[in-house]
Amino acid sequence: MTTAKERATIQQQFQTRMNEDELMNCMRCGFCLPTCPTYIESGFQESHSPRGRIALMKAVVDGLIEPDEDVERSLNMCLGCRACEPVCPSGVRYGHLLEEARDIIAQNKKYSLFVRIIRKIVFSGLFPHQNRMRLLTALVGFYQRSGLQSLARRFGLLNLLPRHLTTMEKVLPTVPTWKEMNDRPKQLTPQGIKKRRVAFFTGCLMDTMFMKTNDATMELLQRAGCEVVIPPAQACCGALHGHGGEKHQAKELAKRNIEAFEQLNVDYIVTNAGGCGAFLVEYDHLLKDDADWAERAKAFTRKIKDISEVLVELNFHETKLKVKPQVVTYQDSCHLRNVMKVANAPRQLLQAIEGAEFREMKDADRCCGSAGIYNIVEPEMSMQILDYKMQMAKQTKATTIVTANPGCLLQMKLGIEREGLSSHMRAVHIVDFLLEASGE
């Protein structure tokens, strides 16, 4: 709930900060509606559609309505999946509008003490500090290895959590140890002739919770002929902050990353998480009004490339790739597809694997409902979207669901658990699957 005074400030900031041209660029044709998961799952409510949300933002700017609870509700319900962008003939950059609107609301709203603490921990205490991320992951590791996990499960302690969080606990990967996390490579040589020099963006969550996948990524890059540099000064990409209404912190993280990478003289900066990559590739937008940084941000974003595109470019799919016979399907990472515009390369790679029968899933490009922390804050809608996704996945008869982003990976695992399919269906990150196919 916001007070009248907060609403007035929010409204006034909408007027000064929202990009009015971008809002007006929406001609209200409705072409984006059929691709919006929340529009569909809400039973076709315009207030949960992109066109409706843009109209609401504009109405706040125009002073037609106050930024009341319902407006906030509509914006909160948005997955930020950006499926509405590539289908918009008018080229409305919805994601930017949403980010700005959320930032204005978050900065001017008094959250409850509980939410304030959580936000503080997540946004300032944790993600910007890689050592703390490691510590947290190590704690999870301790939980998993010490026997605490089996104790907690045995005594039903987890039943105290909401159901989807209980399941979430089950699907967390077995995480690396403290020592493993602190012993990361800084430079790796190519196998065979050197074709490219690339930098690897490790990501905060990827380099802790999903460290194995990062290792696999670097291994693949080496096998494909890349010299890999991993600058230790890099930081979290800031996506969580940017999407969660903490734009200021996102900018600080962006600057740290630009500094960490700009002197490396590499062909590409490689990412393996669609969510991070999409945020990195828009640093130029994030810093466009900062005279000292705008150009440097542009140079940075030009180099961002997803691992699957790098591999295809280096003809990795023409090397020997083989798995035992299985049906495979691919769930797009929304941000990889809609923002980084990468949809073909992962499919091309998967189709090249001997033994893997690739079957396209219906609506593979529709969000799985993970969407950052959406599945925690909007569990109902998230689970509804996930259930649909699992129906589609089941129809393909696939035993392996491949994804390209940690959030999607966890969500798919969650889906498999919820459906009770874990005995014969698995979810993997594409690089892990490729490494498996390439022979470990």
Partner 1 sequence: MISEKVKQSFIRIVGSENYDDSKAGRLVYSYDATPQFQSLPDAVIAPRNTKEVSEIVKICNEHRIPLVPRGSGTNLCAGTCPIEGGVVLVFKHMNKILEIDEENLTVTVQPGVITQDLIKAVEEKGLFYPPDPSSMKISTIGGNINENSGGLRGLKYGVTRDYVMALEVVLANGDIIRTGGKLAKDVAGYDLTRLFVGSEGTLGVITEATLKLIPMPETKKTMLALYQDLEAAARSVSKIIANKIIPTTLEFLDQPTLAVVEDYARIGLPTNVKAVLLIEQDGPYEVVERDMKKMAEICQEEQAVSVQIARSEAEADALRTARRSALSALARLKPTTILEDATVPRSEIAKMVKAINEIAEKYNVKICTFGHAGDGNLHPTCPTDVRDREEIERVEKAFEEIFAKAIELGGTITGEHGVGAMKAPYLEWKLGKEGIEAMKAIKQALDPNGIMNPGKIFAKSERKRVVVTR
Q: Select from partner 1, ligand SF4, none the partner in contact with residue 79, using the beta carbon and a kind-dependent cut-off of 5 to 8 Å.
A: ligand SF4
Q: Interface with partner 1 by CB under 8 A: which range of 88-96, 313-321, 349-357, 396-404?
A: 88-96
Q: Are 386 and 369 in contact (CB under 8 A)?
A: yes
Residue from 26, 198, 304, 328 touching ligand SF4 (CB under 6 A): that is 26
Q: Select from partner 1, ligand SF4, none the partner in contact with residue 56, using the beta carbon and a kind-dependent cut-off of 5 to 8 Å.
A: partner 1
Residue from 8, 9, 11, 33 touching partner 1 (CB under 8 A): that is 33
Q: Interface with ligand SF4 by CB under 6 A: which range of 33-41, 65-73, 210-218, 291-299?
A: 33-41
Q: Is residue 245 close enough to count as binding ligand SF4 by CB under 6 A?
A: no
Q: Select from partner 1, ligand SF4, none the partner in contact with residue 68, using the beta carbon and a kind-dependent cut-off of 5 to 8 Å.
A: partner 1
Q: Interface with ligand SF4 by CB under 6 A: which range of 16-24, 28-36, 288-296, 406-414?
A: 28-36
Q: Is residue 135 close enough to count as binding partner 1 by CB under 8 A?
A: no
Q: Interface with ligand SF4 by CB under 6 A: which range of 34-42, 123-131, 159-167, 270-278?
A: 34-42
Q: Is residue 84 close enough to count as binding ligand SF4 by CB under 6 A?
A: yes
Q: Is residue 31 close enough to count as binding partner 1 by CB under 8 A?
A: yes
Residue from 2, 50, 306, 329 touching ligand SF4 (CB under 6 A): that is 50
Q: Is residue 51 close enough to count as binding ligand SF4 by CB under 6 A?
A: yes
Least Å from the CB of residue 269 to partner 1: 25
CA atoms within 13 A on the CB side of 36: 27
Query: Where do we find the tokens 């129906």?
Result: 391
**Pairwise CA distance, residues 318 & 339, whole Å:** 27
Least Å from the CB of residue 60 to ligand SF4: 16
CA distances from 403 to 60, 330, 331, 392, 411 (A): 38, 6, 5, 15, 10
**Pairwise CA distance, residues 238 & 262, whole Å:** 18
Q: Is residue 91 close enough to count as binding partner 1 by CB under 8 A?
A: yes
Least Å from the CB of residue 105 to ligand SF4: 15
Instruction: Report 90-109 residues binding ligand SF4 (CB under 6 A).
Output: 90, 92, 94
Q: Interface with partner 1 by CB under 8 A: which range of 47-55, 94-102, 132-140, 346-354?
A: 47-55
**Pairwise CA distance, residues 40 & 360, whole Å:** 21
Q: Is residue 27 close enough to count as binding partner 1 by CB under 8 A?
A: yes
Least Å from the CB of residue 102 to ligand SF4: 11
Closest to partner 1 by CB, 65 vs 392, is 65
Q: Is residue 107 close enough to count as binding partner 1 by CB under 8 A?
A: no
- Residues that bind ligand SF4 in the complex, under the rule CB under 6 A: 26-32, 35-38, 50-51, 53-54, 78-84, 88, 90, 92, 94
